[in-house]
């Protein structure tokens, strides 16, 4: 009865069969499969207490209020803030990246000083000493550039530049710079604000209002609020522009027109309105009427734009019969438009009696300034940065001895990028306060990284496009991840070192003073139970309890004010229109129609790495970007789907592949912006081409403003 061979086999067989009736094999297989899913290098979802804190997006120009989800105190996700009037719960792809960007590989991790062709880390103290020495020596010839249209930081920057002896304080060109020039020429003060919420018929001339123009998240919410699913829309939107972009795609009608012809279209509609009896008491009306009747009749417009007379007649009739029509003008790619098309669009609002009316346009006053010696926003917007840099490059304008660059990337984000980079090279001492290693920072002598918006105090005051004055707070919800500082603090520290009195010790004090100043503004209130568009429509504005404003802003509510600045009558600026808008023959050359999208970031942010996955392979495949032409244009230019081509313009060549896309009007080559970075990180660098570099800057007749709205290109 010993354990012989047969007994052993029996034991093994019995044991095996027995094991089949136990959890051993089944549980081991199951657990082993789970074990294979849990490799240590796979990121884990953080566990801990979940809470939400409010702030405002600073990376996104739309200025949405955000709710940041935190787990155990760590920011995890950025979402829209339903209580904020510029968000209403909505958020753009760029604002959503506020959290991810904290960990962007392109972040500059400490102050750095140029060392030959590379940079070497230095301490903040060393950086301040170096900067104080160089700026002290450059007194009288210091310039500054800001890419932040909405922050009180501009007051600190421009006041410091002025005290150092300003050679110019400039804002990066945008829709706001164009509109400010137009409003100035029309003789008014303030920033044009558009009340989409109360409008029932909106004519959009070029502006990509649901993507890159103004308060795009709020614009989308205003559009959707009046068009509930399954119900009859309570408003009508018509888009005029060269491509069926993200705005045109949801509008009721798309009227194809070249970006260069937006002014012609506006004056063509004005012709129909005038014919129907529209009139105005505004200065310059008679000249305006003569200009329109003299060159913008239906056949003139048809010859220039290809738009049938009945199309414009129908639009004019719809505008005239609407209760609250609104005309919005802008660039299809957020920059480069001349002032004249904006004036022409605004003239339609004047003919329709839509100035300072619910659902119309209001000239929003600037919020009080708190830093002594600072430039106003209007004064900053009045500068023409491309013209200044071109002058520096050509030698016509003396190059400043020092340049401070805040939140701006002119070496990438301006037209004729090569010219702009050459101009920057002529400036002997340049300091970048960028958070990311962008193309401009790479050219600078000192790079002093700004903390990201989730790590610093900052603010957003009335982004361009908002229909009401609005102020919201950006506040730190975590300590800086890298060795970065709030630029406001750095500039104030620098001022102290140079014995310049800017009144404040740190930037938080500046923001607190700004908030305190709002309590003195008549008519301001916290948008909580009543939203500003409701006040514009006649609802009484709630009273503002001053002491609670800071707390309310910290909780994610916004300070708002409705109504426009007191001012003289708005004029038609017809003499500018007469010089700048011509219903000539249509262009025979191929015209570039750039388009921008928030998912590909801004020149300052580069491509947010997580957003790269949202870029379709009809836009970027491998490292090549696609241009879009319709089949008619493709046939005329002998282009085939997927064909590699070279685009040439402004002395620059760009590579592309061809995508046949019928949502582009004939003769146009639609090209995506936001690609072709030579700096930043793996996610941005070398991805496609920067088609903005193909655009040449021209001076707009009548206004003198730099414009690059419809660059001609050659395709080979």
Binding stretches for another protein (CB under 8 A) = 1, 3-4, 6-19, 21-24, 27-28, 31-32, 34-35, 37-38, 44-45, 47-52, 69, 72
- Nearest distance from residue 96's CB to another protein, in Å? 16
- Write down the least CB distance from residue 32 to another protein, Å: 6
Place of tokens 């760590």: 74
Q: Which of 4/529 has CB closer to another protein?
A: 4
**Could you tell me the two tokens for 517?**
């100043």
Residue 264 to residue 206: CA distance in whole angstroms: 12
| Dist. CA 86–CA 81, nearest whole Å | 9
**Across-strand partners of 649?**
652
| Nearer CB in complex with another protein: 479/585 | 479
d(CA 176, CA 151): 14
Smallest gap from Cβ 83 to another protein, in A, equals 12
Question: Least CB distance from residue 236 to another protein, whole Å?
Answer: 35
Q: How far is the CB of 18 from another protein (least distance, A)?
A: 3
- C-beta of 19 vs 137, nearer to another protein: 19
> Considering beta carbons, is residue 9 or 418 the nearer one to another protein?
9
* Pick 45 or 229: Cβ nearer another protein: 45
Smallest gap from residue 404 Cβ to another protein (A):
39
- Taking the least distance from each CB to another protein, the nearer of 70 and 514 is 70
- Residue labelled with tokens 């975590």: 478
Q: In terms of DSSP H, where are the helices of 487-557? A: 487-497, 507-518, 532-536, 549-554
Q: 30 or 286, CB closer to another protein?
A: 30
Sign of CA dihedral 282, 283, 288, 289: positive
Residue 28 or 636: the one with the smaller Cβ distance to another protein is 28
Instruction: Tell me the closest approach of the beta carbon of residue 29 to another protein, in angstroms.
Output: 10
- The residues facing 253 across adjacent strands are 238
In sequence order, the β-bridge partners of residue 648 are: 653, 714
**At 161, which helix (H) or strand (E)?**
helix 153-164
Compute and round to an integer the Cα radius of gyration of the chain.
Answer: 28
Residue number, 69 or 521, with CB nearest to another protein: 69
Instruction: Quickly list DSSP for 544-563.
Output: P-GGGHHHHHHTT-EEEE-S
Cβ atoms of 147 and 120 within 8 Å: the answer is: no
d(CA 600, CA 433): 22
Length of the chain: 716
Sign of CA dihedral 604, 607, 608, 614: positive
| 331 burial via Cβ count (<10 Å: 0-12, 13-18, 19+) | buried
Q: How far is the CB of 556 from another protein (least distance, A)?
A: 12
Q: How far is the CB of 75 from another protein (least distance, A)?
A: 15
Closest approach of another protein to the CB of residue 17, in Å: 6
Please compute, for residue 332, the number of CA atoms within 13 A of its CA located in the half-sphere on the CB side. 32
> Of the two residues 47 and 479, which places its CB atom closer to another protein in the complex?
47
Residue found under tokens 């500068």: 383
Specify the residue, 70 or 677, whose C-beta has the smaller distance to another protein: 70
521 burial level (CB within 10 Å; 0-12, 13-18, 19+) = middle
Q: Which residues pair with 68 in a beta bridge?
A: 53, 78
Q: How far is the CB of 66 from another protein (least distance, A)?
A: 14
Contacts of 85 (CB under 8 A, 6+ apart): 65, 218, 468, 470, 527, 531, 532, 533, 558, 560
Taking the C-alpha atoms of residue 469 and residue 152, their distance in angstroms, rounded to an integer, is: 15
**Which residues, 6 or more positions from 367, have their beta carbon under 8 angstroms from its beta carbon?**
461, 462, 469, 471, 514, 517, 518, 521
422-437: b (≥16 Cβ within 10 Å) or e: bbbeebebbbbbbbbb
| φ and ψ at residue 93, rounded to 5 degrees | -60, -35
Shortest distance, position 77 Cβ to another protein, whole Å: 10
Minimum CB separation of residue 194 from another protein in Å reads 32
The smaller minimum CB distance to another protein, of residues 10 and 140, is found at 10
Pick 38 or 499: Cβ nearer another protein = 38
Of 413, 446, 411, 410, the residue nearest 428 (C-alpha): 446
């Amino acid at each position: 009865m010993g354990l012989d061979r047969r007994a052993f086999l029996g034991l093994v067989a019995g044991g095996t069969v027995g094991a089949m009736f136990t959890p051993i094999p089944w549980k081991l297989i199951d657990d082993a499969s789970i074990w294979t899913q849990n490799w240590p290098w796979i990121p884990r979802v953080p566990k801990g207490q979940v809470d939400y804190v409010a702030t405002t997006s600073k990376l996104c120009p739309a200025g949405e209020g955000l709710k940041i989800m935190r787990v155990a105190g760590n920011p995890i996700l950025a979402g829209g803030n339903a209580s904020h009037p510029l968000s209403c719960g909505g958020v753009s792809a760029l604002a959503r990246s506020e959290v991810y960007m904290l960990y962007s590989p392109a972040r500059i991790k400490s102050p750095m000083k140029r060392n030959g062709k590379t940079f070497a880390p230095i301490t903040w103290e060393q950086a301040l000493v170096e900067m104080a020495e160089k700026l002290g020596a450059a007194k009288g010839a210091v310039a500054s550039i800001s890419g932040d249209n909405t922050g009180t930081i501009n007051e600190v920057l421009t006041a410091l530049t002025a005290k150092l002896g300003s050679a110019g304080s400039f804002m990066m060109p945008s829709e706001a710079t164009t509109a400010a020039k137009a409003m100035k020429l029309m003789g008014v003060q303030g920033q044009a604000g558009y009340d989409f919420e109360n409008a029932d018929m909106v004519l959009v001339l070029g502006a990509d209002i649901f993507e890159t123009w103004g308060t795009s998240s709020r614009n989308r919410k205003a559009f959707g609020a009046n068009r509930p699913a399954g119900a009859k829309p309570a408003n009508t939107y018509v888009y005029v522009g060269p491509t069926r972009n993200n705005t045109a795609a949801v509008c009721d009608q798309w009227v194809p027109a070249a970006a260069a012809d937006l002014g012609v279209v506006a004056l063509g509609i004005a012709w129909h309105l005038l014919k129907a009896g529209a009139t105005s008491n505004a200065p310059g009306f008679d000249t305006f009427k003569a200009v329109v009747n003299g060159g913008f009749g239906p056949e003139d417009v048809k010859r220039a734009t290809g738009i049938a007379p009945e199309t414009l007649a129908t639009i004019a009739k719809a505008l005239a019969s609407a209760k609250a029509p609104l005309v919005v003008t802008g660039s299809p790619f957020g920059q480069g438009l001349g002032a004249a098309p904006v004036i022409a669009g605004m003239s339609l609002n004047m003919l329709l009696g839509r100035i300072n009316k619910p659902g119309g346009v209001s000239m929003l006053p600037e919020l009080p300034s708190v830093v002594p010696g600072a430039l106003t926003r209007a004064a900053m917007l009045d500068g023409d940065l491309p013209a200044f840099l071109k002058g520096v490059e050509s030698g016509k304008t003396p190059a400043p001895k020092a340049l401070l660059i805040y939140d701006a990337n002119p070496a990438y984000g301006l037209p004729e990028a090569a010219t702009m980079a050459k101009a920057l090279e002529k400036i002997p001492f340049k300091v970048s306060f960028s958070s990311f290693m962008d193309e401009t920072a790479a050219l600078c002598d000192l790079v002093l990284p700004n903390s990201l918006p989730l790590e610093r105090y900052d603010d957003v005051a009335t982004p361009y496009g908002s229909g009401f004055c609005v102020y919201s707070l950006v506040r730190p919800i975590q300590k800086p991840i890298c060795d970065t500082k709030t630029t406001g603090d750095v500039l104030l520290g620098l001022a102290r070192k140079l014995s310049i009195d800017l009144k404040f010790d740190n930037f938080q004090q500046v923001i607190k003073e700004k908030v305190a100043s709002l309590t003195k503004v008549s008519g301001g209130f916290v948008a909580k139970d009543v939203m500003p568009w409701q006040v514009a429509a006649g609802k009484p504005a709630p009273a503002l309890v001053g002491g609670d404003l800071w707390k309310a802003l910290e909780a994610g509510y916004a300070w708002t004010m409705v109504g426009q600045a007191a001012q003289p009558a708005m004029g038609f600026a017809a003499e500018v229109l007469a010089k700048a808008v011509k219903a000539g023959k249509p262009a025979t050359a191929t015209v570039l129609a750039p388009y921008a999208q928030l998912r590909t970031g801004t020149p300052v942010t580069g491509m947010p790495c997580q957003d790269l996955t949202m870029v379709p392979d009809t836009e970027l495949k491998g490292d090549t970007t696609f241009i879009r032409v319709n089949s008619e244009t493709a046939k005329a230019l002998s282009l085939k789907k997927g064909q590699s081509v070279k685009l040439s313009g402004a002395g620059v060549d760009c590579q592309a592949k061809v995508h046949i896309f019928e949502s582009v009007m004939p003769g146009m080559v639609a090209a995506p912006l936001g690609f072709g970075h030579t700096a930043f990180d793996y996610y941005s660098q070398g991805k496609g081409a920067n088609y903005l570099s193909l655009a040449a800057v021209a001076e707009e007749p009548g206004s003198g403003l730099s414009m690059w709205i419809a660059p001609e290109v050659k395709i080979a």
